[in-house]
Amino acid sequence: MTTQQCNNNRRDFLKYLAASPLCNALAGLEFAHASTEAGQRITSPDQAIDIFDLKATASEVLPPAHYGYMATGVNADKTLRANREAFENYYLRSTRLVNVRQIDTRVNIFGEEWPTPIVIAPVGSQKAFHSDGELATARAAQKLNHLQILSTVSSTPIEQVAEARGAPVWFQLYTLGGWPGVRKMLRRAEAAGCPAVALTVDLPTSSAPARHTLQRAIRLDSRDCAVCHEGSGVAARQKPMFEGIAADERDRRGMALTWDFLEQLRQETQMKVLVKGIVTAEDAERCVEYGVDGIIVSNHGGRADDSGRGAIDSLAEVAPAVNGRATLLMDSGIRRGTDILKALALGADAIMIGRPYLWGLGSFGQAGVERALQILRDEFKIAMEFAGTRSIREIGPDSIGMV
Ligand SMILES: Cc1cc2nc3c(=O)[nH]c(=O)nc-3n(C[C@H](O)[C@H](O)[C@H](O)COP(=O)(O)O)c2cc1C
């Protein structure tokens, strides 16, 4: 056969292949692979291959405005995207010939042992995603024994969440309500047995005007929102933690969020104090000087400042500055078990997830939250097996490299 004939035959074969249903199916698969984070709509939690199937489902099941509230970043969602993209700059350096039959994923946080380093991040208004809201999350947390942090703007009171969790949760604090309001919330958290309070510092002012993805989603939503809202905006309903706090005291900008506030917070409570939203070494060092017990490296899941930097890169900067002097948590962009391993290799003691469990909650309530947690637990264990790291202690700087 001449080269020409050969080329003709090859062209004919490719033409045949391109027209065949098999090829279309493969092309579809390849496309799906190219957008690996697209996920597929599913009808039961056990069908979720990874958490992106829960995302795809939540995006179809939830009203557009409510999904938009969950999904939004700020402006063009640059920080949100950077949170995912930054993980790609790190690769895993696996150690071979290690007996990985026994993998120990346990971590110890403030003297308490947890089966995994996966913590449930504080998220407000969870009834916007499922009628059981924070109670569904708490029941899932109880079933799989995860640490849960409750938001100041929770749609369920802390007393009920602690009861559903069957154990104390941590409390996340916004400075809404001024000191009189903050004191009321601290006393409630203490009475509910909270061992720790996380002060969120990355929203010194409201980022609502910059949440453009949310604003666009609201335009697509033609429902009568009076059913779930008293005022305007997705999260406008009166929050149970504000009970007894006068309406005009609830403005978070009424009180400057400064180091003085942190200083006083430490004096106001016996709870462990963490600062959530730190992204630089300088601020982390100052937190340590102010005697905080923990630091949460976070950019609020890309919903606060439009920095365009991934939180995993902030962790790489912050962890050496902290150098073990405070408990270090990280969130924003964790979507896979390998992401967790990377964060721990960079120095985090534990990680937190926000949207991944919300996707489960929005899709299937408690069962969906359980599925999201289980997927990430399973993936993390497998990541540890392949990395040749048998315990959290064995995950370290050598476990990763930079592309
Ligand atoms: C819908 C939504 C509401 C949130 N509400 C709060 C909140 O009330 N307080 C807070 O400190 N962080 C809040 N966060 C930020 C989360 O605690 C966490 O930092 C973030 O979701 C982690 O990023 P991820 O969603 O990429 O996992 C919220 C996040 C989302 C998605």
Q: How far apart are CA 24 and CA 51, in angstroms?
A: 26
Distance CA 186, CA 335 (A): 32
Q: pLDDT tens-digit profile of 55-74? A: 999 999 999 999 999 999 99
Specify the range with the lowest mean pLDDT, choosing from 21-35, 140-154, 253-267.
21-35
Query: How much is the pLDDT for 319?
Result: 98
pLDDT given at position 228: 63
Nearest alpha carbon, ligand 1 atom 15: 300
Sheet holding 196-200, edge to edge: 118-120, 350-353, 327-330, 294-297, 272-278, 196-200, 170-173, 149-150
Structure confidence at residue 232 as a pLDDT band (50, 70, 90): very low
State which ligand 1 atom lies nearest to the alpha carbon of 80. 26
- The answer, yes or no, to whether residue 178 has pLDDT greater than 90, is no
Give, to the nearest 10 degrees, the angle between helix 337-345 and helix 366-387. 60
At 287, the amino acid letter reads C
Residues 6 or more apart from 156 whose CB is under 8 A from it? 126, 127, 133, 134, 135, 240
The whole-angstrom separation of Cα 380 and Cα 224 is 42
pLDDT, tens digit, 9 for 90 and up, residues 296-333: 999 999 999 999 999 999 999 999 999 999 999 999 99
* pLDDT of 281 strictly over 50: yes
Please compute the mean of the pLDDT values over residues 83-95 and round it to a whole number: 98
Task: Match 């980022």 to its residue by tokens.
Answer: 207
Read off the tokens for 38.
């697209």
Pick 174 or 247 by higher pLDDT: 174
Output the CA 129–ligand 1 centroid distance in Å: 14
Instruction: Indicate if 300 belongs to the active site.
Output: yes
Q: Once rounded to an integer, what is the mean pLDDT over residues 262-281?
A: 98
What is the average pLDDT across 155-171? 97
pLDDT of 4 higher than 60: no
SS3 state of residue 5: helix
Place of tokens 């510092």: 201
Q: In this predicted structure, which of 167-181, 252-266, 277-291, 335-349 has the lowest mean pLDDT?
A: 252-266
Instruction: Say what the pLDDT of residue 287 is.
Output: 98
Mean pLDDT of 344-349: 98
Confidence of residue 22 (pLDDT cuts 50, 70, 90): very low
Beta carbons within 8 Å of 57's beta carbon, 6+ residues apart: 39, 41, 42, 48, 359, 362, 363, 364
Pocket of ligand 1 (CB under 6 A): 69-70, 83, 121-124, 151, 153, 172, 200, 276, 298, 300-301, 303, 331-334, 353-355
Whole-number pLDDT of residue 200: 97
267 vs 324: CA distance, rounded Å:
23
In the predicted structure, residue 225 carries a pLDDT above the cut 80: no
Q: Which of 66, 130, 146, 300 is catalytic?
A: 300
Reported as a pLDDT band with limits 50, 70 and 90, residue 244 is confident
Give the list of residues 6+ apart from residue 346 with CB closer than 8 angstroms, or none. 90, 312, 315, 316, 319, 330, 397, 400
The answer to whether residue 226 scores a pLDDT higher than 70 is no
**pLDDT band at residue 275, thresholds of 50, 70 and 90?**
very high
Distance in angstroms between the alpha carbons of the first and the last residue of the chain: 46
In the predicted structure, residue 233 carries a pLDDT above the cut 60:
no
**Nearest-CA neighbor of 55 among 342, 381, 364?**
364
What pTM, to 2 d.p., does this model score?
A: 0.92
Centre of ligand 1 from the C-alpha of residue 391, in Å:
28
Domain boundaries, the chain: 3-34, 78-208+223-402
User: Which CATH architecture describes the domain 78-208+223-402?
Assistant: Alpha-Beta Barrel (3.20)
Atom number of ligand 1 nearest to Cα 333 = 26
Beta strands in 174-298 (DSSP E): 196-200, 272-278, 294-297
* pLDDT at residue 19 in the model: 52
Q: Which residue has the higher pLDDT, 249 or 4?
A: 249
Strands 400-402, 90-92: pairing is antiparallel
The stretch 357-376 carries a mean pLDDT of 98
Best residue for ligand 1 mutational test, from 62, 278, 303, 361 (most atoms within 8 Å of Cβ): 303
What's at 352, amino acid-wise? M
CA distances from 33 to 37, 92, 210 (A): 8, 21, 32
Distance 274 CA to ligand 1 centre (A): 16
